[in-house]
Chains A and B, each alone.
Chain A
């Protein structure tokens, strides 16, 4: 028993030691528990929430774009798409094959669906085809029993009901590219999300986009949704209202037709653009859908540049439409008064150069009014020689030329008004007087956009108020869309009598006996139109050609032909609309641009809401086919006598 006693003592001692050891280990567990569950609790709580909570974004419907009367120009259309959920199919390949028998499915789509569904978890829907027609959608629905796992989903797609008729103003939406991933809007991460890439869609993208709704869902370890925790309502995109009158825009675009041309219609008092057409154009719906490589190449390589908004981004020598600027500069300078005459023998000699008038035989004695009416080049050569380029450049800038007008669209070209300082700075050469002469008839370095020409015309028509163009009823201020306040324009400082004189001369261009646009006169309830033709030369006429006889414009290859221009305002008695038209490589302005401006102006006056008409009058206007408005049509002999403007010196 003694032995056992010793053994017991050792046993008891060691059991106590053992218990101590265990106590130590247990306290270690307790300490660890305290560390994890109390000290680090916050961190792990966050991690647990990150584990289980997924944010699902609900894209808001994009705001509509409407015209000045609320006619929708850009809307959201129901888009039926077919999705497939792999885990609900018996055999994905078989299902896809059955689907392809009903709705055409490209090999590419076929492979893409198989690839995507193998990459994703089997309960994640994969898009099979978008933009199903109603018939295709119905077909899929009817065959649903044979298509296990295929579901039809309704989404919203941007739709432009007027297709290419307003595309340059509206722009288009397209998938988010890498470089668009700016800011922290989570919407940009959505695979199907579209953002504005051009035009109003781009400039007003943020208000149009709206705010994403969010649905917080709880997911399990494999990502399957268990339940919705929170649903945050999004904010639909704001509606943007344009100043465009879609009826006029529609008319102007169609009137330009197949030609490479632009037409701007502007309210001379408010600067609101009622139409801004540039043709040919593109179909923005194709961009929203996604362009194929071939479609893109066709658009990009077309010589008539359908992707370019010629009204804004096209810079053209304004030709004779620039003569009003020279006339106003001359009147203001006091060096030349309106009654002083210049003799036009058909050319003007300066040093060794002869500067030709478009009329080979010359116009004879010309005062300012008749020189504008008949667009006599020699008169303006002489006047510009006397007043110098700087006065002309100064007046041109005051008329809105030579600098961007800050319209709400991107891609506006600044145009160019040359001056001595400009030439020294950019070309490093001194200004020569011959260049002043060339500039005086809107050739040489002078460049203007159709929009600038419309603004210039509007400023003449409104007696010299510095009206600025605007396209949108709202503007973005501090990130919010607010109504644009009624603008108050300052005067450009040209005296009213001078303006009146030029306005009168422009009236004579259209209505005078010898006016260059006398074929395009209008008379709507006694309202008439004033305007100015212009033809801008694209290439130089060689001395040889001049001797052998200038080939007519039609004989030249298209890209060497002259641009036709026309600016006008109406009613002459109380101006309301200013219009500029340019038709690229068409020929003379009076023959190719003025008739278009004439028709568009008639339409503008017809649509003018201030005009009260009897229903019979309205019917009469509607029934009258365009171009039969009275005095517009000329005989062939008359048109042949129009300006051909062979004016640039060797």
Chain B
């Protein structure tokens, strides 16, 4: 099979399953497996040196996630584009369902119990929104995105789920969706002055928005600004987190030796604060090491985006990469006291099913974009309607 012939077939998306599997970026899979492995080690430590209850289930979930990733990766990118809006609609309906159920039931609920797993529609929406926006901007050229009116639909696509998520209320996810969407608008070529306009408008809205924040959200922001305000209450977590990080030093206290984590001074060490545990037990060197792995994942994502020849694939890659990056940045910045505590897990390392599945789904799309990088997709989604 000659190289030229192969390329041509790839452009048309005519690949056998074997060829697709060959095209899967196994080094990337290895990379994320390494991250999940770090997660297993830390969860083992979080349980005071026990595979139960977290580490073993983390492995299972990652395994399931990996299968999901491959399935998603092997599905033709054009199929994803075709069903992008449908997926978005499904996620939206689920979001509404959660909202309705929450109003009827008791208090805030963020998930739907599917028996096997608890599905969190806002997580699904993160991926669906990326797909929907990518689909929308796939057909838009630079002159289109230059028109403000043209952007009304994608803005609505973003704001509708954000509003629902805010009502849950889940400030963290809402902000992540906003930021992820903004990046997609940015790489799609939306004019910079529009961003400036939105930023200015946003800043002026803050005082008003403050009134609508829940008390606990206000507390989080206030505590963030001055953690010593309430060292035993809201500020306690972040203070203990900083103590854990700082006391870890350059090389850490040793595996299973983290005093802050093992004596329960550190809150939620198996989920949101797992990075702190890593940095306490293995020191700053390990923290930097983990950060490097994450940067590599992001670099892979960006490289795939740059290498992909169809706009949909590019935008999906960027969307996935940015979402992933936001997870990492928000989580680490949060535990180090740079931003308020917003409850975002550390991707692939933190214990938690929904986030894991969302991520693997997203990575599946990324790999799908890679596998189908040379497929040419027409403006309306046809194979080639150039």
Given contacts A29-B332, A36-B242, A38-B250, contact A52 B259 (CB under 8 A): yes
B284 touches A38 (CB 8 A): yes
Task: Tell me if B284 and A22 are in contact (CB < 8 A).
Answer: no
Looking at the complex, which one of A19, A26, A30, A37 makes contact with B246 (CB distance below 8 Å)? A37
Check if B284 sits within 8 Å of A219, measured CB to CB. no
Contacts of A12 in B (CB 8 A): 306
Contact with A along B242-273 (1 / 0, CB 8 A): 11111111100000000110011100000000
Interchain CB contact under 8 A, B291 and A15: no
By the criterion CB–CB under 8 Å, are B259 and A18 in contact?
A: no
Interface status of B127 (Cβ within 8 A of chain A):
no
Question: Quick check: A30 and B288 within 8 Å, CB to CB?
Answer: yes
Note all chain B residues with C-beta closer than 8 A to A44.
242-247
Does B223 interact with chain A (Cβ within 8 Å)?
A: no
Q: Does A45 contact B (CB under 8 A)?
A: yes
**Cβ of B246 and Cβ of A40 under 8 Å apart?**
yes
Q: Do B265 and A52 have beta carbons less than 8 Å apart?
A: yes
* Residue on A nearest B187 in the bound complex, by CB: A14
A25 touches B142 (CB 8 A): no
- Which parts of A1-53 form the interface with B (CB within 8 Å)? 1, 3-4, 6-7, 10-12, 14-15, 18-19, 22-23, 25-26, 28-30, 32-34, 36-38, 40-41, 43-45, 47-49, 51-52
Task: Answer whether residue B323 sits at the interface, using C-beta atoms and an 8 A cutoff.
Answer: no
With A and B bound together, what is the CA distance between A12 and B386 in angstroms?
21
| Known A15-B305, A33-B287, A37-B283; contact A7-B332, beta-carbon cutoff 8 A | no
Asked if A19 and B263 make an inter-chain contact with CB atoms under 8 angstroms apart, the answer reads: no
Shortest Cβ gap from B297 to chain A (Å): 11
Known contacts A52-B263, A221-B264; is A33 also within 8 Å of B311 by CB? no
Contact of A51 among B248, B249, B263 (CB under 8 A): B263
Query: Quick check: B336 and A29 within 8 Å, CB to CB?
Result: yes
B264 pairs with A220, CB closer than 8 A? yes
| B319 to A: closest C-beta gap in Å | 12
Q: Assess the B264–A222 pair: CB atoms within 8 A.
A: yes
B265, A221: Cβ atoms under 8 Å?
yes
Does residue A218 face the partner (Cβ distance < 8 Å to B)? yes
Partner of A19, one of B245, B250, B283, B302: B302
Chain A residue at minimum C-beta to C-beta distance from B305? A15
Query: Are B305 and A51 touching (Cβ within 8 A)?
Result: no
Pick the contact of A14 from B189, B259, B287 — CB < 8 Å? B189
Task: Kindly provide the distance from the CB of A301 to the nearest chain B CB, expressed in whole angstroms.
Answer: 49
The answer to whether B306 touches A15 (Cβ under 8 A) is: yes
Inter-subunit contact B329/A25 (CB<8 Å): yes
What chain A residues lie within 8 Å of B150 (beta carbons)?
none
Of A6, A32, A36, A38, chain B has the most CB atoms within 10 Å of the CB of A36
Query: B142 touching A41 by the CB < 8 A rule?
Result: no
CB closest chain-A residue, reference B315 = A11
Compute how far the CA of A47 lies from the CA of B231 in the bound complex, rounded to whole angstroms.
Answer: 13
Assess A48 versus B288: contact at CB under 8 Å? Given A11-B187, A15-B305, A37-B250. no
Output the residue of A25, A26, A37, A226 with the most chain B CB within 10 A.
A37
Q: How far is the CA of A1 from the CA of B310 in the complex (A)?
A: 11
B314 within 8 A of A: yes
CB distance from A23 to the nearest CB of B (A): 8
Question: A464 to chain B: closest CB distance in Å?
Answer: 73
**A interface secondary structure, majority:** helix
B90 within 8 A of A: no
Q: Chain A interface: which size bin?
A: 35 or more
Tell me, in angstroms, the Cα distance from A204 to B386 when the chains sit together. Answer: 103
Given A3-B142, A18-B302, A221-B263, decide whether A37 and B291 contact each other with a Cβ distance below 8 A.
no
Cross-chain contact B291 with A30 (CB below 8 angstroms): yes
A-side contacts of B314, CB under 8 Å: 11
CB-CB under 8 A for A7 and B245, given A15-B318, A34-B284: no
Q: Once the chains bind, are A41 and B246 in contact (CB under 8 Å)?
A: yes
Knowing A11-B189, A222-B264, A226-B263, say if A43 contacts B246 (CB, 8 Å): yes
Pairwise interchain contact B187-A26, C-beta atoms closer than 8 A: no
Does B186 interact with chain A (Cβ within 8 Å)? yes
Judged by a CB distance under 8 angstroms, whether B295 is at the interface is yes
A7 near B142 (CB under 8 angstroms)? yes
Interface majority SS on B: helix, strand, loop or mixed? helix
B250/A41 in contact, CB under 8 A: yes
Chain B interface, number of residues (Cβ within 8 angstroms) = 47
What are the residues of chain B within 8 A of A49 when measuring CB–CB?
247, 259
B155 interface residue (CB < 8 Å to A): no
- Bitwise, B210-248 to A at CB < 8 A (1) or not (0) is 000000000000000000000000000000101111111
Residues A10 and B263 in contact, CB atoms below 8 Å apart: no
Contact of B186 among A1, A14, A220 (CB under 8 A): A14
B-chain residues with CB within 8 Å of residue A40 when the two chains form the complex: 246
Q: Min CB distance, B282 to chain A, in Å? A: 11
Q: Is the CB of A218 within 8 A of B141?
A: no
Question: Which chain B positions have C-beta within 8 A of A38?
Answer: 249-250, 284
Assess the B141–A3 pair: CB atoms within 8 A: yes
Task: Assess the A22–B325 pair: CB atoms within 8 A.
Answer: yes
Which A residues are CB-close (under 8 A) to B171?
Answer: none
Q: Which of B141, B244, B284 contacts A48 (CB 8 A)?
A: B244
Inter-chain contact B311/A4, CB cutoff 8 Å? yes
Known contacts: A22-B325, A29-B329, A33-B279. The answer to whether A10 contacts B142 by CB under 8 A is yes
A28: chain B residues at CB < 8 Å are 333, 338
Chain B residues lying within 8 Å of A25, measured Cβ to Cβ, are 329
B318 close to A18 (CB less than 8 A): yes
B316 in the interface (beta carbon within 8 A):
no
Nearest-CB distance from B54 to chain A (Å)? 19
Tell me, in angstroms, the Cα distance from A4 to B312 when the chains sit together: 12
- Check if B130 is an interface residue, CB within 8 A of chain A: no
Docked Cα-Cα span, A284 to B302, in Å, equals 85
Contact A218 B288, CB 8 Å, known A14-B187, A48-B243: no
Whether the Cβ atoms of A22 and B311 lie closer than 8 Å is no
> What is the chain B residue whose CB lies nearest that of A50?
B243
- A223 vs chain B, min Cβ distance (A): 10
Bound form: Cα–Cα A28–B330 in Å: 12
Q: Which residues of B contact A37 (CB under 8 A)?
A: 245-246, 248-250, 279, 283-284, 287
Task: Report whether A36 and B336 are in contact in the complex, using a CB–CB cutoff of 8 Å.
Answer: yes
Task: Give the residues in chain A near B305, CB-CB below 8 Å.
Answer: 11, 15
Q: Which of B247, B264, B302 has the most CB of A within 10 A?
A: B247
Q: Given the complex of chains A and B, what is the CA–CA distance between A28 and B339 in angstroms?
A: 12
B29 at the interface (CB under 8 A from A): no
Q: 1/0 per position for A215-233, CB-CB distance to B under 8 A?
A: 0001111100010000000
* Interface 1/0 per residue, A80-109 and B, CB below 8 Å: 000000000000000000000000000000
Complex-state Cα separation, A10 to B305, whole angstroms: 13
Is B34 interfacial (CB-CB < 8 Å)?
A: no
Q: What A residues does B183 contact at CB under 8 A? A: 18
**A 460-491 binary contact with B (CB < 8 Å = 1; else 0):** 00000000000000000000000000000000
Digit string of B327-371 for contact with A (CB within 8 Å is 1, else 0)?
001001100111000000000000000000000000000000000
Provide a sorted-by-A list of 19 A–B residue pairs whose CB atoms are within 8 angstroms.
Answer: A11-B311, A12-B306, A18-B187, A18-B318, A18-B322, A22-B298, A26-B295, A33-B288, A33-B291, A36-B245, A37-B287, A38-B284, A41-B247, A44-B244, A44-B247, A45-B246, A49-B247, A51-B263, A221-B265
Chain B residues packing against A (C-beta within 8 Å):
141-142, 183, 186-189, 240, 242-250, 259-260, 263-265, 279, 283-284, 287-288, 291, 294-295, 298-299, 302, 305-306, 311, 314, 318, 322, 325, 329, 332-333, 336-338, 386
List of 8 A-B pairs having minimum Cβ-Cβ separation, nearest first:
A44-B246, A48-B247, A37-B284, A220-B263, A221-B264, A41-B249, A45-B247, A3-B141
